[in-house]
Amino acid sequence: NIKKRSWNVIRDEQFRIGPYAFRGDQWVSFDDIPMIEHKSNYIKQMGLGGGMIWALDLDDFKNICGCEEYPLLRTINRVLRNYKVPAPKCRLGETIEEVTKATPGFPTSHRTTSVPEFGIPPIASRKKCQGQLFVPHETDCGKYYLCNQGELQVQSCSSGLFWNVDHCDWPENSACHPDGTTEAPEIIGGGPDTLVPAATEKPFEVGTQPAVPIPPPSDGQYKVVCYFTNWAWYRQGEGKYLPSDIDETLCTHITYGFAVLNPNTLTITPHDSWADIDNEFYNRVTAFKAKGIKVLIAIGGWNDSLGDKYSKLVNNPQARAKFIRNVIEFIEKWNFDGLDLDWEYPKCWQVDCSKGPASDKANFAVFVRELSAAFRPRGWLLSSAVSPSKMVIDAGYDVPILNDYFDWIAVMTYDFHGHWDKQTGHVAPLYYYPGDTYDYFNANFTLHYWIEKGAHSRKLVMGMPLYGQSFSLADASEHGLHAKSYGPGEAGEFTRAGGFLAFYEICERVKRRSWTVVRDPQGRIGPYAYHGNQWVSYDDISEIKRKSQLVKDLNLGGGMIWALDLDDFRNRCGCGKHPLLKMMNHELRNVKLETNLQNCT
C-alpha cells in the first residue's frame, strides 16, 4: 500500500512507537525495519533471552516491496546473531511528518540509557552457571539462583519456604539457617548479584507464624457432603432441580458447583451469572445456613480444569496472593462458609499426567497452606475433591501437607470405568473384581492408599455416585462385565448426556422398562442393568448402605454424594424422595427411614 498506493507514513524520531500510515479513511500502525532494529537493540541492552516473531508468513518473504526477502527477520538476525549479509539501503515510504510532540505515556526527550523507566532493574555483572542449574543464595534462605541462558539469576521461594538443594521446602527440611549460616556450596563467579525482581503484585501475607494444621474431627460424627449443581435447573419436567428441592435434613454440608477460574485474571468468578446471581441461586442455597448447614463454593470441575490456567495460578506467588484476596471478597460478598478446590488435577490435567509440570504438586500444597492461613482466622472451611487414581495421587498430591490444611478431603471414588474403556465396567467398584484391568481401581484400595500416603482417616470423605455410567454393547448377547462396547450409552431423557444416566432414570428403566439387573452376591461391586444393547452400572440403595458401613469401619470423616439432582428426588420409582441420600444418612447419622429402602429396588 505504501509503495504503490501512495499511503502517507508518520514516524516518531524518538522511536517510542513504530510508524503508522494512512490514506483516506484507512489507518494502520506497524513496525518497519528501523523499529525492528531499535527493538532488537533493546533486547541486547536488557540482557533478554532473544526475540520472537509472529509470524514467518507475514514478513515480506517474496520481496514485494523491493528491499530484500524477509527484511524484518533479517534485521533481527543482523542485530542479535551477527548475520553477515549487509542491509540493503532502502526505506519504506517517505516520512511526511515526524511525531515530535510529547505524547501521554511517553517521555519528552529521547532516552539514551539502556534502562527503561518502569521499575526494571539495572543489568549487573552476571555470574556464569559453570554447569550448575541451581545455586543457593549466600545470605537469604528464601532465595536461590537459577541458571538461565548460561547465567545465574536470583529467584524467590514462596512466603515461608526455604531453598533446599533443588526446590523450595519447609524450613525444617532445609540446610539454610536464618542467621545466615548454610551448608550450601559457595556461589561461583563473583560477589552478590544485584538483580532484584520487579515489584508487581504484593504477595499475600500469611503472617509471621506458619499456618496451623487443622486437626481431624472427633470420632463418631460423620459429614454428609452434598454437591449442588447450578445447571440442573435447565433440565426439563421432572428432571429440573432447584434450591427449593434440597432437603436440609439430609446434608451436613452443601458444596455449590461451580464457580470458575477466570483465565485472564486468574481469579474466581461465577460460572453462570443468570442462575447464580440473577435467579439468586447463591442466596437461595446459602439460606440453608440458617438451618445449621455449612455451605461452600466449589471452584473448578472437569470442564474448567481444561488447559493450564490452574497450573499458572499455583506456580505464581503473586497470582496466588491476588486469588486469595479476591476469593476472600467473593466469599464475604456471597455469604459462603468456605471454598472447595476442584482442580482436576495438579500435574495430571484432566487425568493426563504428561501435561502438567512437576512443580504443580508442591505449589498446589503451598497454595492450600496459604489459603488455610487466610481462612482460619475467619472461621472458614477449606476442602477439596480429589482423584481416586493411584497415578494421579502420586504425581499431583503432597498428601501430608494437604492433610494438615484441608478440613476434609473428598475422594471421588467413582468413574473408575466408563465408555472410554471400550468395554463394560462398574462406575464405582467397592473392591477388586476378577478380570478388572487394575487391582487398584476400586474404592477400598484408593481410601487405604490415601491413608498410607499420609491422610488421617477422619479427614477423608468417601464419594458415592448417584448416577451410572452407561454403554452401548457391541453385541447385545454379550452383556456381562468386560463385554465389548462401541461407545457411550444412549442419553437419558432428562440428563441428555451420552454415557450417563441419573439414578432416577435408571430405576425407572428397571421398574417400568423390563431392564435386567445383575448383582454381585459377594458385594464387591454394585449392580448393573441391561436391555437390548444398552448397559449401565450404578450404585443402588443396598450398595450405598454397604459403602456407608465401610465409612464407619475405616473411621472415615463421612460420605459425599455427586450430586443432589441425580437421586430420585421426586420419588419416580416409589422408594421415597432421595432414597440413596436417605440411606447414607440412616447409616451415618441415624436418620430414621420411612420405608424399607433396602428392598425397594
Vertex 508, ends 502 and 511: CA angle to 5°? 140
Exposure string for 250-259, b = 16+ CB within 10 A, e = fewer: bbbbbbbbbb
In this structure, is the dihedral angle defined by the CA atoms of residues 74, 79, 83 and 86, taken in order, positive or negative? positive
CA distances from 183 to 128, 138, 140, 443 (A): 21, 10, 13, 45
In angstroms, rounded to a whole number, what is the distance separating the alpha carbons of residues 368 and 410?
Answer: 15
Vertex 412, ends 376 and 395: CA angle to 5°? 80
Annotated catalytic residue within 344, 505, 508, 543: 344
Strand, helix or coil for residue 505: helix
What count of Cα atoms within 13 Å lies in the side-chain half-sphere of residue 105? 2
Q: Which three cell numbers stand for residue 563?
A: 450430586
Strands 134-136 and 143-148: antiparallel
3-state secondary structure string across 87-151: CCCCCCCCEEEEECCCCCCCCCCCCCCCCCCCCCCCCCCCEECCCCCEEECCCCCCEEEEEECCE
In angstroms, rounded to a whole number, what is the distance separating the alpha carbons of residues 324 and 205?
Answer: 10
In this structure, is the dihedral angle defined by the CA atoms of residues 204, 209, 211 and 217, taken in order, positive or negative? negative
Alpha helix (H) ranges present in 485-591?
503-512, 541-553, 579-589
Residue 344 annotated in active site: yes
3-state helix, strand, coil in the chain (%, to 5): 30, 20, 50
> Active-site residues: which are they?
344
